[in-house]
Structure 1
């Protein structure tokens, strides 16, 4: 990612120099994405706050919402759940207002993951299902499969192993149709873990 960082810094400075505010904001946001992928969360947070404010200044609602959602991801990864929740709710409402179903679903997924981390399983499940309905409606099969995976993990955390296995198999089937071998391997590993847990659990669970 160091080459990516270098090129985004160059383009950021270039756009700044020529007064291209949108290009400048886009470069700052892209830098935030690089830092987030490198787990450099404080640098990512700084970039996303800057891009959020820049997009706000030029009236770019989509860029603003994307920066807010990305901030939510950073806060969630840092375990700052109340800040993350605030960001996800704000981005969810922004995307809903714009009628942007894909990004709305992504915000709902982030909220679902957040509630899952807090062990608020019923709320997490509701949000995941709401996101999945949107992904199915727009034909995003990969994201829909990811939700089946998340729901499988969620049921596994609650010792509902049969339902967990069904959902992970559902995800694996879609990954197979999309030719995603690594994701199928992840499903196989999770299924093996779930089977082992089911065999170890007392009868009737």
Structure 2
């Protein structure tokens, strides 16, 4: 609760100050008023994202592990997610690449489509946000050598993660660089959500990273033969 209160207090304080500044500038400085209004919108979006992530994480943590019976095509979820991320990557000057994923049958898992879409969105969005302009993000996927697992890797040429932080990045609200996270709109909850979704699907997530060279997150999910 202390962490949640602290995280909510920052944007709430910013909104109050911006609203007061906007009120003072109305009718006197239209240009400055527009600037304050734009900042208000960004802070409101950040607060809404934080609240939505908190709700998602709370639901994932409070519910018992879901019994997954639906057969889901991971390849289809990836294609849809990547299409939705194109604009964000283009705006940041980051090349978003992916290889052909092969047959749908090779990407069948028992899962929750909404959760898996959220997981891949978080991973790809993080990779794009923490990759400087001119860099690239590549998504690949396939079957493990024994054919029992579906894997999806998200690799970037971004800022990377220090070795001492690798064991903590899936903790709630943990940020490697708080200033950079605030700049990109990060809530510090995305990777916690990823971890819970992976565990709910009986899988695992592995991360490798080198500072200033990039990161690679690989999700392994049990393959369904049905």
| TMscore range, shorter length | 0.3 to 0.5
- Which structure dedicates a bigger proportion of its chain to strand? 2
Q: TM-score, normalised on structure 1?
A: 0.34
The structure with higher relative contact order (CA 8 Å, sep 6+) is 2
Which structure dedicates a bigger proportion of its chain to helix? 1
